[in-house]
A and B are shown apart, each in its own frame.
Chain A
Amino acid sequence: MPLATLRGARLGYGAHVVLERVDLALDAGAPVGLFGPNGGGKSTLLRALLGLLKPLAGDAHATRGAGYVPQRVADDPLIPVTCAEWIRAGARRRRAPVAELAARVGLGACLDTSLYALSGGEQRRAFLAHALAGEPAWIALDEPTAGVDAREVERLVALLADLGAKGTTLVFVTHDTELAALAERALWVADGRVSEIAPAEARRRLAVRPR
């Protein structure tokens, strides 16, 4: 059974239609990349696949238990949260292997650090560990490398490659060619349509297109 499906879906917000007639089935296994120009509807498609956005028309089905690393991560220090608390908050079980998960994403030394004191890349990894704590069926990442320095991108890509190799299904939105290299299935989202293209073609388009 697919992890998520969209059938004849019209996606948008109120009167503003972003994508038309989307037919898509997301299967477990191969990493999927959503590519395209800014404002093309990649994040909208990802949110629909997660079940966070109901289609304006057509059908959508999303299995429960997806993990999610949103594009906008913690930037409001109203609530004090340590890295360990944030990872634990993602767990479905009472006793989550917090230290193990933190170590897995390279944050083993930051357990007691405030979530807001982490760099952008470290926050992305903390969100990834939060998602992993929930033992997700698949993980969606919305531009996980945006605003992150080159070293952190390298680290994040290696981490995601490792997760993919160990059987976690990844679906990500990105403009980053390094991360795009992980995709074994590529969807081009532009001009109100979603089309499936070869991953190599997606990387080529990313390399030549302005963002």
Chain B
Amino acid sequence: MIDLASLWELFRHSIAALLVVGAGMPILGVFLFVRRAGFHGIVLPQCATTGLAVGYWVLPAWAGWAWRDGPSLRELLADPHHLEGYLQAWALAGALVGAALTHVARRTRGAEAAWLAALFAASIGATMALRSRLPHAGEAIDAVLGGEVILIDAHGLAIVSIAVVVAAAAVLAARRLLVVAVVSPELARLEGRRASLAELSVTLATTLVIGVGVSIVGPYAAFSSLVIAPLAARRFVRSFRAFLWLSSALGALAAIVGVVLAFGPLDLPLGPAVVLGATLSLAPYLVPRRG
């Protein structure tokens, strides 16, 4: 039996960060879902992970230059808090490169899905190739890939919370224009510059939160929050408002189920456990609809 009180006491920042990501990222996932860009919710976190791997690759050179009189490379790697900002910057850079490439893929029209799949494959290949060449950071990259978030501190929690709140607020503020753009692109064109600006600001906010979120909770929790929660919620809602709130609630619930699966008798890695928790919410799709 899991002692939830002790669990919370020991890992409260990590669990809170997962809950923030679980509840906040689905709001961005809704934005991707309605724009038929659900695959971006897989590709962008993966690109952010590649960005992290590149950051670890560059780290020895960077540490020798930027922290000449500071901690050694070994010390830096032993205490991940030293590298928080550095790694977030690299993850964000990876997400931004991914966002730019997905934008290019979107313009290929019919071939978009194939390009996104290719980008995902290239990104995961690059991550694993870099990981194999980085003896100093192999464990750290594995921890990110596994979503092992037990070392999150109050600072990390604050960063991810701010990023999620800013991005979710951008989506909520632009939701009226987003609804118009999805239901009738021609009407959105009539709205002109405002609709384009709303779309751009939400895209940038989504990229920001993916970059920051992946560096803190890993790509798996991001995948499930961005992709699975909105898909599960869509079956039960008929209003956009309900879509946003139910997606958020299911994302938070998946995070809780993931924590239980990870810290319970199954002892699963936390990231995959959150994905499994979210996948359970898709079960109603197995039941045929009446009528």
Q: In whole angstroms, what is the CA distance A127 to B187 when docked?
A: 10
Given the complex of chains A and B, what is the CA–CA distance between A80 and B179 in angstroms?
9
Are A79 and B186 CB-contacts (below 8 A) given A85-B241, A112-B239, A114-B238?
A: no
User: 8 Å CB contacts to A: which residues of B175-197?
Assistant: 176-177, 179-180, 182-184, 186-187, 189-190, 192
Question: Quick one: closest A residue to B233, CB to CB?
Answer: A80
Answer yes or no: A102 CB below 8 A from chain B CBs. no
CB distance A81 to B183 under 8 Å? yes
Indicate if A45 sits at the interface (CB-CB under 8 A): no
Give the chain A neighbours of B177 by CB distance below 8 A: 89
- CB of A70 within 8 A of CB of B186, answer yes
Contacts A/B (CB < 8 Å), 5 sampled: A70-B186, A76-B182, A79-B243, A81-B183, A91-B176
Docked CA distance A127–B241 (Å): 19
User: Using a CB-CB cutoff of 8 Å, which residues 5-48 of chain A contact chain B?
Assistant: none
| Chain A residues, CB < 8 A from B241 | 85
- Within 8 Å CB of A91, what residues of B? 176
Q: How many residues of B are in contact with the other chain, CB < 8 A?
A: 23
Distance, CA A74 to CA B187, complexed state (A): 11
- Give per-residue flags for A75-88: 1 if the beta carbon is below 8 A from chain B beta carbons, else 0: 01011111001101
- For B238, the chain A residues whose CB sits under 8 A away are 80, 82, 112, 114, 117
B242 near A73 with CB under 8 A, answer: no
Q: Of B36, B179, B190, which contacts A86 at CB under 8 A? A: B179
Q: B34 on the interface (CB 8 Å rule)?
A: yes
With the chains together, A80 CA to B231 CA distance in Å? 12
Q: A85-B179, A89-B179 are in contact. Are A80 and B243 (CB under 8 A)?
A: yes
Whether A78 lies near B34 (C-beta < 8 A) is yes
Residue pair A80, B240 in contact (C-beta under 8 Å): yes
Judged by a CB distance under 8 angstroms, whether A129 is at the interface is: no
Q: Give bound CA distance, A90 to B177, whole Å.
A: 9
Say yes or no: is B120 at the interface (Cβ < 8 Å to chain A). Answer: no
Which A residues lie within 8 Å of B176 (CB)?
Answer: 88-89, 91
B223 at the A/B interface (Cβ < 8 Å)?
A: no
Chain B hits for A74, CB < 8 A: 183-184
Q: Which of B183, B184, B240 has the most CB of A within 10 A?
A: B183
B183 contacts which chain A residues (CB < 8 A)?
74, 76, 79, 81, 86, 89, 115
| Bound: A66/B190 CA distance, A | 8
- B237 contacts the other chain (Cβ, under 8 Å)? yes
With an 8 A cutoff between CB atoms, is A150 at the interface?
no
Is B184 within 8 A of A79, CB to CB?
A: no
Q: Is A52 an interface residue (CB 8 A)?
A: yes
User: Given contacts A80-B242, A81-B240, A89-B176, are A52 and B182 in contact (CB under 8 A)?
Assistant: no
